[in-house]
Structure 1
Amino acid sequence: MSKRDEFIAIVNAFKAASPAITDAQRKGLLRQAKQQYGLSFEEARQILKASGLVVGDVVNYFEVLGLAVEELQNQPDAAIATRVDTAHKELYSASLRAGGLPRPDGKTQEQWRTLLNQARDILKDPQQRREHLATLQPDGERPDTPSRETTRPIFKFTNGDEATNISELAALMEKHPQEAAIALYRGYLEQSLGGAGEMHLAEAARTVASVYAKTPEFGLWAMVQILRGKVKFARGGEASTPQQLAQLIDQNWEEAKTLLYGGFLPLWFEYTKQSQLANEAMDIIDRFGNETDIGLERLVQKLHPQIGHPVLKASHTSINFGKVDRKSQKTVRVEIQNTGRGYLYGTVELAKAMPGLRLSSTTIRGKAVLTVTLDTSRLAVNQTHNTALVIKTNGSELRVPISCVPVDVTAPSTSSSQDPATTAPEKSTAKTRAVGWVWVAVVFGIILFITFRPPVNERSVQRNLDRSVGGVQTSRPTIPRADVSAGMVLIPGGEFQMGSSDREAYDDEKPVHTVYVDAFYMDKYEVTNAQFKAFVDANPQWQKARISRDYHDGDYLYYWNDNIYPQGMGNYPVVYVSWYAAMAYAQWVGKRLPTEAEWEKAARGGLVGQNYPWGNGIGSTRTNFGYNVGKTTPVGSYAANGYGLYDMAGNVWEWCLDGYDSRFYARSPFWNPIAGDASASQIVNEFRRVKTSRVLRGGSWSYGALYLHVAYRGWNTPEVTDGSLGFRCAMDVKP
């Protein structure tokens, strides 16, 4: 079972116990999804939404059984138990008689009976009943610290130390860390806090023990900070307010990143009753998981809007290349620094394009050093050319003007006092004749070469293309040829900009770089159940009952009954297919999986700089994503992109040929790039030996909008299968 499916099982268990959860429970589930199961908050939210769990207030179990709190007060425990049993029996019997009829409140009869059982068990137990009563009282009616005269100690340590209020409890837990850790992780602390009416902190103890089960020392520290209502940093300093915390984050940046992305700060905000900040911290973790410094800077601004921004400073206020030879190349090194507080980030771009002017980098992370390169051969001579660097950051915006005047230093001077038409006429005429004869010879030689040149050695050309750069294979994939079927689309060869510089883009999507991809064919649709069945029928070794355990994770063709896909699902994309099985299918039909570069070029559909195959906007009418349907849809259910390809975003993730390399873009070759230490033909011919992770593209029906970006790079190990994972095929163009 995948991590995602494990989390779904937990959510279903919650729903079986009760159709409603509190907002705090919802946040606890989101944190658990992120930290234990590796899901994004957006994925977890979509799963919760699809489950049908209702997020609401605490359930009043007295009302569930039709009882009033007043009628049970001052009654002995035995009498209360009898009254609860009687009410439960009447309501439970009525539910059984109702059969499968739905209830007016939307619950099923089974859900209602589960709730009745919960109410009976809690109200019959004196301790649980008192705790439940405490949760029903408004916060203002409950004292924050129980007085010694009216309540027993919150917690008593074995040496006799007693904590009569929350502050004392925090101090004694620091004094007795070993015993405190045992109390926290065995549930004693939760029980004691609940018994004292501190239900909010009791839930915090349960959450901390769950989230930090593998790091008990940190879990104990986290619980103490929650009880104290302060965050204490290792280098000194404590914060109890958002403003204080923002200032201390600046002084303890690396530690603060650990506290944020380790999940502590959202917990601390939540259980110190700062829910809005808890939500914002969780959103930051989700959005900036790969840009931790940016995420922390954004949190600081949320905590203390008046704290100030980073201060941008560039090493140049202007760049004037002056008069330069039109055949020369000039470079200028520009340094960008932060002279203020916090973390500087942003982008660098040209105010307007200037032919031949290139920037080595377009992103700023903390600081930046970029090279501005000018190739004057592409500019008109004797004219002034102007543009500017536009540096946009979270602190400010700065423009650095750029200018140059290309000149032809080889051109004859016209400023001499002598008239060139009358000075030394014989030498001038002789020189002109000589130059003329040279040009005649050159032209004649070119004609001879064109007429009598030897035929091109295509194998030699292919060998040149096959050279690798820095150990990265750059050859055009060589695979078995096949005739083009009606189900494929020709993707034209050419350059495109691969990757993304969007602020939401992950590090492995950067930098944006130019790639040339040869023309190829791409399946118009994702491979369907019916197509895959034809493959397994012809290749019994890939059938569900016979496939080698080396080539899947145990859930291969999970929805199929032996060799039969679900009825009516023939035109749906096949799912729960490993990379190995996808490769085997592609080989059987004379095709292959697309390279990552081919996939992105095809997905963009000819558009430039857009997030999705159709543009920048997204919605439920565009594609199947984010649980808006709740399952896969038949292939081709939504409009095609500019190349006539369907479902390039959403429906199912699609396997690619490449190995996954998070840093590949920094050294990607220009021609037909493919990541990994093997050529395309080696991968195709020896795919059963592959063990490294493979690229996944396109997002799916159960993932949020960010994962559908055409530049987003997913990955997984080749044996993995999943209900949101399929593929489509590609094929070379015949020479």
Structure 2
Amino acid sequence: MVLVPGGTFTMGSERFYPEERPLRRVHVDPFRIDATPVTNRQFARFVAETGHHTQAEIAPDPRDYPGMLPEMARAGSLVFRKTSGPVPMEDVTQWWEFCFGADWRHPYGPDSDLDALDLWDHPVVHVAWPDAAAYAKWAGKELPTEAEHEFAARGGLEGQEFAWGDELAPGGRMLANYWQGLFPFSNTREDGWERTSPVRSYPPNGFGLFDMIGNVWEWTADWWAENPAKALKAKKAGDSCCAVRNLRGGKLKDSFDPGQPQVRIGRKVIKGGSHLCAVNYCQRFRPAARHPEMIDTSTSHIGFRCVRRN
């Protein structure tokens, strides 16, 4: 783990997506954070010692999902499938498939495995939020808050869009694993990778942390709030003179997906973007980027890392 010094920083961005606004001054106390996302090798040790079964390995109970077709009540997870050509960008079902038998041991589907693909030092994926929380508890750690993750990702830089500055690929250098080309059908792989990459494949940021943006999204401890200002406890949420100390995210009641009112499963904040973020789609390979994810959902592009406080 790496010790991240405490400090006050400007959280958020006004250049990209509305959920990243407003800019707010936040103070975080010192904490330690994993230098890399948790790898398949590390997660395998946790499973071996605890016998943990991930959400993706357990068939869902149709009673928890009104309207679920009986044939869908099978274990599996969401796997990205590259399309053969341009597709409507508002329809994520064009590139996401719920794949029966996909899980952390079989990241691309039931016929894939970590040994054959040499993925032991890649970030573990197909972990839902309860799986990440269970690992953190076993390791004597916790999941980071959204503010801690963003502060760590910035690496000591103030107001810069990326973990190394304001230019995505300075001098043509690939400094993170993200999608080059036109998503979701043409990946030029200038960074060398079609999917996840081994941790430490790219230079660390100013705090000595790897993959804080790109590679995989990372779970945080915070419930989602559409407008981060709701979580501010200062008298004037948008007043930059008032730094909120150790900011925590939204409340459970605000985190439900308004598009699925019948499914009362809250959403947590994920941070950092992934290898599927592209310039033409989801420019969230940035410290300020944030996104909601249902806590029961696992995918081929979400992982996590842990922190220790005090």
TM over 0.5: yes
> Does 2:266 align with 1:692?
yes
- In structure 2, the residue matched to 1:492 is 5
In the TM superposition, 1:688-727 aligns within 5 A as 691-705=265-279, 706-727=283-304
Partner of 2:306: 729
Aligned position for 2:68: none
Corresponding position of 2:30: 519
Matches within 5 A, 1:32-47: none
Alignment map for 1:424-435 (pairs within 5 Å): none
2:46 — aligned with what? Answer: 535
In the TM superposition, what are the counterparts of 1:62-211 in structure 2 within 5 Å? none
Q: Offset of 1:561 from its aligned partner?
A: 6.2
Alignment partner of 2:245: what SS?
Answer: coil
Q: Which amino acid aligns with 1:676?
A: G
Partner of 1:585: 135
Letter of the structure 1 residue corresponding to residue 114 of structure 2: Y
Percent identity between matched residues is: 39
CA 1:663 to 1:572, structure 2 compared with 1: closer, same or farther past 3 Å?
same
Q: Distance in 2 between matches of 1:590 and 1:601?
A: 22
Counterpart residue number, 1:597: 147
C-alpha contact (below 8 Å) 1:509/1:665 kept by paired residues: no
In structure 1, C-alpha distance between the alignment counterparts of 2:157 and 2:267, rounded to whole Å: 29
Q: Report matched runs for 1:223-622 at 5 Å.
A: 488-502=1-15, 505-542=16-53, 547=58, 549=60, 554-555=76-77, 556-557=103-104, 558-559=106-107, 565-567=114-116, 568-619=118-169, 621-622=174-175
For the 8 Å contact 1:536–1:543, the answer to whether it is kept is: no
Change in Cα spacing, 1:554 to 1:677, as seen in structure 2 (3 Å) is same
Q: Distance in 2 between matches of 1:605 and 1:545?
A: 33
Q: Secondary structure at the match of 2:76?
A: coil
Q: Does 1:659 align with 2:223?
A: yes
**RMSD, aligned α-carbons:** 2.5
Q: Is the 8 A contact 1:508 1:665 kept in 2?
A: no
Question: 1:666 deviation in Å?
Answer: 4.9
Structure 1 residues 548 and 489, CA gap change in structure 2 (3 angstroms) = farther
SS in 1 for 2:269: strand
Deviation at residue 622 of structure 1 after TM alignment: 0.8
Are the equivalent residues in 2 in contact too, given 1:498–1:711 (CA < 8 A)?
yes
Amino acid in the other structure paired with 2:140: G
* 1:510–1:666 CA contact under 8 A, matched in 2: no
- 1:647 matched residue in structure 2: 211
Name the residue aligned to 1:319.
none
- State the alpha-carbon separation in 2 of the partners of residues 537 and 549 from structure 1: 23
User: How far off is 1:546 after superposition?
Assistant: 5.8
CA distance in 2, matches of 1:543, 1:596: 23
Contact kept? 1:698, 1:712, Cα under 8 Å = yes
- The structure that is helix-richer by fraction is 1
Check conservation: 1:697, 1:714, Cα contact below 8 A: yes
Per the normalisation by structure 2, the TM-score is: 0.69
Q: CA separation in 1, counterparts of 2:11 and 2:221?
A: 17
SS at match of 2:19: helix
Q: Is the 8 A contact 2:54 2:128 kept in 1?
A: no
2:23 & 2:291 partners in 1: Cα distance? 17
Preserved contact between residue 540 and residue 546 of structure 1 (Cα < 8 Å) = no
Q: What amino acid does structure 2 have at the position aligned with 1:712?
A: A
Compute the displacement of 1:566 (Å). Answer: 3.5
SS at match of 1:654: strand
Post-superposition offset of 1:580:
1.1
Which segments of 5 or more consecutive residues in structure 1 lack a partner in the other structure? Answer: 1-487, 679-689
Task: Extract unaligned runs of 5+ from structure 2.
Answer: 65-73, 78-102, 180-186, 234-243, 253-263
- TM-score (norm. length: structure 1): 0.30
1:594 deviates by: 0.4
Deviation readout 1:61-99 (Å, 9 max, x if unpaired)? xxxxxxxxxxxxxxxxxxxxxxxxxxxxxxxxxxxxxxx
- Provide Cα deviations, 1:377-432, integer angstroms capped at 9, x if missing partner: xxxxxxxxxxxxxxxxxxxxxxxxxxxxxxxxxxxxxxxxxxxxxxxxxxxxxxxx
Amino acid at match of 1:730: V
Checking the alignment, whether the CA contact within 8 Å between 1:660 and 1:694 is kept in structure 2 is yes
In structure 2, which of residues 228, 232, 251 is the aligned counterpart of residue 668 of structure 1? 232
- In the TM superposition, what whole-angstrom CA distance separates every residue of 1:238-257 from its partner, at most 9, and x where no partner exists? xxxxxxxxxxxxxxxxxxxx
**In 2, distance between residues paired with 1:528 and 1:676?**
28
> What SS does the aligned partner of 1:542 have?
coil
Q: What is the deviation of 1:524?
A: 0.2
The answer to whether the 8 A contact 1:553-1:721 is kept is no
Distance 1:536 1:721 in 2: 17
Code of the residue aligned with 1:511 in structure 2: it is P
CA–CA separation in structure 1 for the residues paired with 2:10 and 2:55: 40
Of structures 1 and 2, the one scoring higher in RCO (CA 8 A, sep 6+) is 2
Contact 2:55 2:298 in 1 (8 A): no
- Paired residues of 2:8 and 2:25 also in contact (CA < 8 A): yes
Does the 8 Å CA contact 2:129/2:219 hold for their aligned counterparts? yes
Alpha-carbon separation, structure 2, partners of 1:697 and 1:658: 11
Contact 2:56/2:126 (<8 A) preserved: no
1:691 CA displacement: 2.9
- Please give the alpha-carbon distance, in whole angstroms, between the structure 2 residues aligned to 1:663 and 1:640: 30
Question: Larger Cα Rg: Structure 1 or Structure 2?
Answer: 1
> Residues 662 and 572 of structure 1: is their aligned pair in 2 closer, same or farther, counting only changes over 3 Å?
same
- Once the 2 structures are TM-superposed, how far is the Cα of residue 543 of structure 1 from its aligned partner? 5.4
